[in-house]
């Protein structure tokens, strides 16, 4: 039987990310008491979180924060905390899922997910994440935008195809064509790398 690694940190934090909020749970290694809060995904929410974590009496570098790479919602919070000196670990949703499954956790709420991530932080102490250069974040966002536009373009093409098989007013077809042209132009601009 292997034991968990010797704690390198004084506080373990799990953050479950959503589009506009984040659920946060944390604990010290020797205590079973969980602390939790929900923050807004805003600069004010990030500041509140930092203040609450530092109010525990631990330095930022002695606090390990674990979060999932959920879409792109985690990037701003992770980067903000890393720049403030916190140790940040970003794991995949699959890793979090398998860890929760190993703990036999069946209930799933944002608060429980945050506690599970804090447990993962304490037991596994995953490697610290380094924020990518700003150009990477911009490229990532542009690629996501282009993918969304390509999906929208296909939906519009499907609508036009359906309209060609039913009695529809010409103005509806013209309007759909105009939208498709704008989306296609934006997709081509994204591919060429121009804004």
Is 73 inside a domain boundary? yes
**68/116 Cα distance (integer angstroms):** 11
**27/59 Cα distance (integer angstroms):** 14
CATH number of the domain within which 47 lies: 3.30.420.40
Q: Is 85 left (phi over 0), alpha (psi -120 to 50) or beta?
A: left
User: Does 167 share its domain with 71?
Assistant: no
Q: Which domain holds residue 110?
A: 11-124
Pairing between β-strand 35-40 and β-strand 21-27 as defined by DSSP bridges: antiparallel
| Whether 140 contacts 72, CB under 8 Å | yes
Which residues make Cβ contacts (< 8 Å) with residue 35, sequence separation at least 6?
25, 26, 27
Q: What is the mean pLDDT of residues 88-101?
A: 93
Is 92 inside a domain boundary? yes
Is 129 inside a domain boundary? no
Alpha-carbon distances, residue 173 vs 183, 184, 192 (angstroms): 15, 16, 28
User: Does 139 share its domain with 94?
Assistant: no
Indicate the angle between helix axes 75-83 and 134-163, nearest 10 degrees: 170
Higher pLDDT, 172 or 95: 95
**19/141 Cα distance (integer angstroms):** 15
Is 79 inside a domain boundary? yes
pLDDT digits (tens, 9 = 90+) for 4-46: 556 689 999 999 999 899 999 999 988 877 888 999 999 999 9
User: Does 117 share its domain with 184?
Assistant: no
User: Does 80 share its domain with 148?
Assistant: no
Is 1 inside a domain boundary? no
Is the pTM for the entire model greater than 0.75?
A: no
Q: Which helix (H) or strand (E) holds 91?
A: strand 87-91
User: Does 157 share its domain with 70?
Assistant: no
Number of domains in the chain: 2
User: Does 142 share its domain with 119?
Assistant: no
The per-residue pLDDT for 71 is 81
Alpha-carbon distances, residue 121 vs 28, 49, 181 (angstroms): 11, 17, 48
Among the three residues 97, 124, 151, which one is the final residue of a domain in this structure?
Answer: 124
* pLDDT at 88 exceeding the cut of 50: yes
User: Does 77 share its domain with 52?
Assistant: yes
Is 6 inside a domain boundary? no
Is 97 inside a domain boundary? yes
Alpha-carbon distances, residue 82 vs 34, 75, 115, 126, 164 (angstroms): 23, 10, 21, 15, 53
The per-residue pLDDT for 139 is 73
pLDDT digits (tens, 9 = 90+) for 156-189: 888 888 877 777 667 777 888 788 888 887 776 5
User: Does 66 share its domain with 90?
Assistant: yes
Among the three residues 124, 143, 160, which one is the final residue of a domain in this structure?
Answer: 124
Indicate the angle between helix axes 75-83 and 43-54, nearest 10 degrees: 50
């Amino acid at each position: 039987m292997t034991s968990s690694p010797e704690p390198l940190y004084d506080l373990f934090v799990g953050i479950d990310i959503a589009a506009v909020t984040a659920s946060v749970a944390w604990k010290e290694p020797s205590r079973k008491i969980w602390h939790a809060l929900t923050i807004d995904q805003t600069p004010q929410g990030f500041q509140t979180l930092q203040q609450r974590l530092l109010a525990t009496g631990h330095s930022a570098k002695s606090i390990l924060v674990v979060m999932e790479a959920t879409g792109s919602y985690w990037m701003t919070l992770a980067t903000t905390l890393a720049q403030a000196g916190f140790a940040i670990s970003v794991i995949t949703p699959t890793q979090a899922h398998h860890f929760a499954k190993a703990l036999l956790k069946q209930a799933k709420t944002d608060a429980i997910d945050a506690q599970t991530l804090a447990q993962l932080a304490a037991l596994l102490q995953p490697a610290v994440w380094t924020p990518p250069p700003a150009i990477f974040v911009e490229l990532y966002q542009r690629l996501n935008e282009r993918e969304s536009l390509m999906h929208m373009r296909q939906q519009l093409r499907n609508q036009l195809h359906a309209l060609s098989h039913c009695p529809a007013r010409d103005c509806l077809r013209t309007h759909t064509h105009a939208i498709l042209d704008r989306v296609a132009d934006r997709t081509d601009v994204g591919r060429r790398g121009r804004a």
